[in-house]
Amino acid sequence: MMGDVLVKDYRGNVLENVHPGHICIIDYNGKIKYDVGDNQHITYMRSSAKPLQAIPVIKYGFDKKYGYTDKETTILAASHWGEPFHIATIESIIAKLNITEDDLIMLPTYPINVKAREALLKANKPARRVYHNCSGKHLGIITLSKGMGYETEGYWEIDHPAQQEILRHVAYMAEYDKDEVKIGVDGCGVPVFAMPLYNLAKAFLRMACPELIKDDEIRMAVIRLTKLMNKNSEMIGGTGTICSNLLMDDNIVAKGGAQGVYCFGLKKEKLGIALKVMDGTENNWGIIVASILEQIGYDNKETISRLYNVFPNDIKNDNNIVVGRKEAVFRI
């Protein structure tokens, strides 16, 4: 269940923590090329599903119907950290949909980005729903609902027709039986989907290699969405996030989710990759992804260096003094 140890944390020379998990890497033909732990481990996709959830909006042209800019379309697939440019984009979508932020189900909160949050608190600004990192996804679901003529009330329920449309597209991209997808409730209140790690890797292989998608409309939607994610990488996460840093590389399609799940596809290498850190931590994603890229001989060293610069191996204390190190110990 716990998988193999992926990362070890040392404080001084003493092993303090281990982070077990699973990794699945599949090739262009859907064959397992490398794996660590259990490639069939079933996990919730959490926010790694967001690009898949945005596909029907683009497929049916609803982003164009409502006049979304490229950045506005991109943020539908995002876990934004609430920087001012994110919030301006979210507010613009709300105006174009002719709704209010009170139509979003999640409770008001503050941005994840520290500077943005501290600026709002210092100015005594209230918490808002638009600051939630899933607000773009919710607006995408509302866009789909309005575009298809559905009521937006209850858009967060699995039996809502918009959610059924999303489930169908997620299962199609993962090549997994829709009726076998396990359904839970995500942190933001909408349905969340669970399936084997192999199928998460399959979905991101198809995101990176859309020629594998037989459905013409879905294929064209994926091509457009992935180009937007690379072009507007700052919208998918924000300053200092792993998603935005990986998406700066036009060869990569990537999206992470809560509780340790991360997925990405490599276009030129034609690989789909999914991993799950079983203790749910996300702060080891950078070193794990960088180690995967190094071990497969990825030729864009700038991307690997950027990961290590943003997510260093050094462990620092509250005084910004190096007191330990992280080591990726898995081998693929």
pLDDT in tens, 281-302: 999 999 999 999 999 999 999 9
Tell me, what amino acid is at 163? Q
Tell me, what amino acid is at 4? D
Tell me, what amino acid is at 158? I
Q: What pLDDT sits at residue 161?
A: 98
The Cα 299–Cα 59 span in angstroms is: 33
Q: Which of 113, 147, 152 is nearest to 238 (CA)?
A: 113
The Cα 241–Cα 171 span in angstroms is: 27
pLDDT (mean) for 73-96 = 98
CATH number at residue 58: 3.40.710
Helix (H) or strand (E) holding 182: strand 182-185
Other beta carbons within 10 Å of 278: 20
Per DSSP, 240 falls in state T
Q: What pLDDT sits at residue 244?
A: 98
pLDDT (mean) for 136-160 = 98
Q: What pLDDT sits at residue 87?
A: 98
pLDDT at 220 over 80: yes
Q: Which two tokens stand for residue 292?
A: 């995967």
pLDDT at 68 over 80: yes
pLDDT in tens, 4-20: 999 999 999 999 999 99
pLDDT in tens, 100-136: 999 999 999 999 999 999 999 999 999 999 999 999 9
Q: Which two tokens stand for residue 272?
A: 């789909």
List residues bridging with 43 in a β-sheet: 195
Residues present in the chain in total: 332
pLDDT (mean) for 33-40 = 98
Q: What pLDDT sits at residue 332?
A: 93
Q: What pLDDT sits at residue 176?
A: 98
Within 8 A by CB and 6+ apart from 184, the residues are 44, 191, 192, 193, 194
286: Cα separation from own chain's centroid: 14
pLDDT (mean) for 166-178 = 98
pLDDT at 1 over 80: no
How many domains does the chain fold into? 1
The Cα 286–Cα 183 span in angstroms is: 28
Instruction: State the helix-helix crossing angle for 216-231 and 197-208, rounded to 10 degrees.
Output: 80
Q: What average pLDDT is seen over the chain?
A: 98
In the chain, what percentage of residues exceed pLDDT 90? 99
Q: Which of 178, 180, 157, 158 is nearest to 169 (CA)?
A: 178
Residue 303, domain extent: 4-328
- Global pTM reads 0.97
Q: Which two tokens stand for residue 303?
A: 């991307």
Q: Which of 312, 301, 140 is nearest to 240 (CA)?
A: 312
